[in-house]
Amino acid sequence: MATTYPQPKLALRVGVTGHRDLNPEVSIDISNRIREALQMIKTALNATSAELRACYDGGPIVSRAISPLAEGADRIFAAEALATEYELFCLLPLHREEYCKDFSGEASQKEFEALLRRAAGVLELDGVRRSEPNAYESMGRVLLDHSDMLIAVYDESHVRSNGGTADIVDIARQRQIPIIWIHPTQVPDRIINTAANPDTQILTPQLVAQVVQDLIQPPWFREKAETSAVDREDITGSYLSSKMREKSLLGGFWNIFIKVMVLGTSVPKPPEQRSFPEFAVDSLIVHRDFIDEVANRLAGLYRGAFLANYTLGVAAVFFAILSYASSTHYRAWLIGELVAIAAILLIVYVLRKRRWHNRMVDCRYLAERLRIACYLHPLAVVVPKPHPAAYHPHHNLRSSWMDWRLNAILRETHLPKGRIAAPYINHCLEYIEYWLIDQESYHNRNAIKMHRNEDALLNIGWLLVIVAFVACVLHFFIHDVRIVPWLTLCAAGFPAAAGACHAISNQGEFRKLADRSNAMALSLKGIKEELQAMSGESQLDKATLEEKALEVSEIMIEEVTDWQILYRKPPISPA
């Protein structure tokens, strides 16, 4: 059944590395063996169960092949990928006219151009001839970043070179990318780096099917422990739906509270929205926007819930005192107290059952990693993996659906298209600068709001305590039956209200959030200024910009990972 919210496509990406110097007889044999391997992968994808397919969008399966189109194995792979109906993307280490100088003659160049014309997209990296090995090594790393499986046509006895086939295979093995090893002169073909067995095994359709399943199946498929329906929703993220984008009453209550707290405070306006550049991938933006909206709604529900609870708690105290002090309307005040207590119990029950607090941090974590992916994608850079502390809950099954969804979205996302040269790099630079400006502005605004919330609640709390103290003192001097009940209300009710202010501040972690946002804004400002200084440099290259973009990404990932620890706390209680 079709869902009403964006689901990732079922997709798999296969890269290639291999020798160039293959004689015609060997080439024919290699061609047949590559075709067989690609067909095994495609068959395994098409044979996925209905239960597994339901975790994806239900549309056509995406089989994508990535080839640098060097002579030899790369071109054989590209031709066979097209013949078996793979979507071909070409990744060139140098600009195409420079890359063509590597080819043996005019016929080879024509073959290269013919395959390029049939490709769904081409990315020309900015490698230079004077550091050719580095260019090929960089290309190999990008290839592996965007490959779920690798077909390697190589003879381990070949002379090793920097960025050569053997190096790429070694890096793939370190990353545990499954490799189909096709030896030019030896059979049978083999597969290495499977999840179940890191040793080399003979290639079979059954083994390929298992490898493909390990790559695409969600983590909860591997864990068959009995769980309740709500537990399973948290594990799978299946509580996401289109209605999670709608506004909520509790979220509106929270927004009103924030606006009241910051009245009279000058909060800078956010920077003007910029449209995404042509090379941005729509699917990444769609997924990010959806998860971001869900995270915001869950945050509003959770924060509105604890704010409502403490407000209702104060109301219950006031109603109780009024029911005691009023001789004519005590039943109405008593009913009001019962309604307030019942509302508190209902909110606590719903919050615990729907786990807004855990789901909020899960979705925020995913939304921020998708945000990073949007900005790194034009540079063909993947989102860095987090390195949470040992005590961080991210390793458990409950949170692992986020990494699966992120990886599934990245698998469906194709390589950027274009030529990485000065205009492209400058466009990427502007794009990343805006990211920094936007995030710095957000953290500056957030720090101001959180500091204001903390200060306002502290001042209100002190005012309430002082008024309660004065009311207690006046009790000694005023005995008028018309005034005493109101003095009692102030003396007994206002300390409860002051306690609620402290509890709201403590539950909202306003001071910690303000300090964190201040620190984040300073860090991002420093990187932004470095990038702005680079904008006048004519020799700015992809590697330098990539280094800075990854520095921003690491800061953002550390912040949102640590934010999970701060907010992944037990839900509120009726007390």
CATH number (domain holding residue 74): 3.40.50.450
pLDDT of residue 1: 36
Task: Taking residues 105-128, report their average pLDDT.
Answer: 93
Instruction: Take residue 72 and report the two structure tokens written for it.
Output: 């030899």
Residue closest to 458 by CA, chosen among 517, 498, 495 = 498
Candidate from 11-20, 500-509, 538-547 with smallest mean pLDDT? 538-547
Question: Do 167 and 36 share a structural domain?
Answer: yes
Domain assignment present for residue 247? The answer is yes
pLDDT (0 to 100) of residue 277: 59
Dihedral sign (CA 147, 151, 152, 153)? negative
Task: Let me know whether 382 and 454 are in one domain.
Answer: yes
How far apart CA 300 and CA 305 sit, in angstroms, is 8
Q: How far apart are CA 519 and CA 521, in angstroms?
A: 6
Same domain for 193 and 265?
no
Q: How far is CA 508 from CA 105, 129, 451, 468, 513, in A?
A: 68, 56, 12, 25, 9
**Domain hosting residue 460, numbered range:** 242-567
Residue 225 lies in a domain: no
Structure tokens at 94: 């140098």
User: What is the predicted pLDDT for the residue at 399?
Assistant: 53
pLDDT, mean over the chain: 87
Question: 409 with 538, same domain?
Answer: yes
The amino acid that residue 11 corresponds to is A
The DSSP code for 175 is T
pLDDT for 358 equals 84
Domain count, the chain: 2
- Residues 248, 99 within the same domain: no
Confidence of residue 13 (pLDDT cuts 50, 70, 90): very high
* pLDDT, average across residues 134-157: 92
How distant, in Å, are the alpha carbons of 49, 125, 545, 547 from that of 384? 31, 20, 15, 12
The share of the chain scoring above pLDDT 70, in percent, equals 90
Residue 125 pLDDT: 93
Q: Give the DSSP H/E element, type plus range, for residue 288.
A: helix 282-325
For residues 296 and 191, membership in a common domain is answered with: no
| Residue at 4 is within a domain | no
Q: What is the 3-state secondary structure (H, E, C) of 349-366?
A: HHHHHHCHHHHHHHHHHH
Asked if 262 and 453 count as a contact pair (C-beta separation under 8 A), the reply is yes
pLDDT at position 413 is: 93
pLDDT (tens digit, 9 = 90+) per residue, 400-417? 788 899 999 999 999 999
> Which of 37-41, 46-50, 175-179 is most confident?
37-41
Q: Is the model more confident about 2 or about 232?
A: 232
List pLDDT tens digits, range 304-352: 999 999 999 999 999 888 887 776 777 888 899 999 999 999 999 998 8
Higher local confidence (pLDDT), 543 or 481: 543
The yes-or-no verdict on residue 505 having pLDDT over 50 is yes
- Assigned domain for 191 exists: yes
Asked if residue 182 and residue 58 are part of one domain, the reply reads yes
> For 57, what's the count of Cα atoms within 13 Å in the CB-facing half-sphere?
18
- Domain check: are 157 and 290 in the same one? no
Q: What is the pLDDT of residues 377-405, one digit of tens each?
A: 999 999 888 776 665 555 554 557 888 99
Residues 305 and 212 in one domain: no
3-state percent helix, strand, coil for the chain, nearest multiple of 5: 65, 5, 30
Pull the structure tokens for residue 546. 């990539």
Q: How confident is the model at residue 354 (pLDDT cuts 50, 70, 90)?
A: confident
At residue 487, the pLDDT reads 85
In the structure encoding, which two tokens stand for residue 454, read together? 């903390």
What pLDDT is recorded for position 238? 79
pLDDT digits (tens, 9 = 90+) for 247-262: 889 999 999 999 999 8
| Domain match, 199 and 276 both | no
Both 204 and 271 in one domain: the answer is no
pLDDT at position 544 over 90? no
Same domain, 178 and 251: no
> Is residue 186 in some structural domain?
yes
Range list of β-strands (E), 95-233:
121-124, 149-153, 179-182, 190-192, 201-202
Residue 397 lies in a domain: yes
Tell which wins on pLDDT, 240 or 380. 380
C-beta of residue 144 within 8 angstroms of C-beta of residue 66: no
Q: Which of 333-337, 457-461, 563-567 has the lowest mean pLDDT?
A: 563-567
379 within domain boundaries: yes
* Residue 449 CB partners (closer than 8 Å, separation 6+): 258, 261, 262, 265, 267
> 407-452, pLDDT tens digit by residue?
999 999 999 999 999 888 888 888 898 899 999 999 999 999 999 9
* Cis omega (within 30 of 0) for bond into 388: no
Within a domain: residue 145? yes
Strands 62-67 and 121-124: unpaired
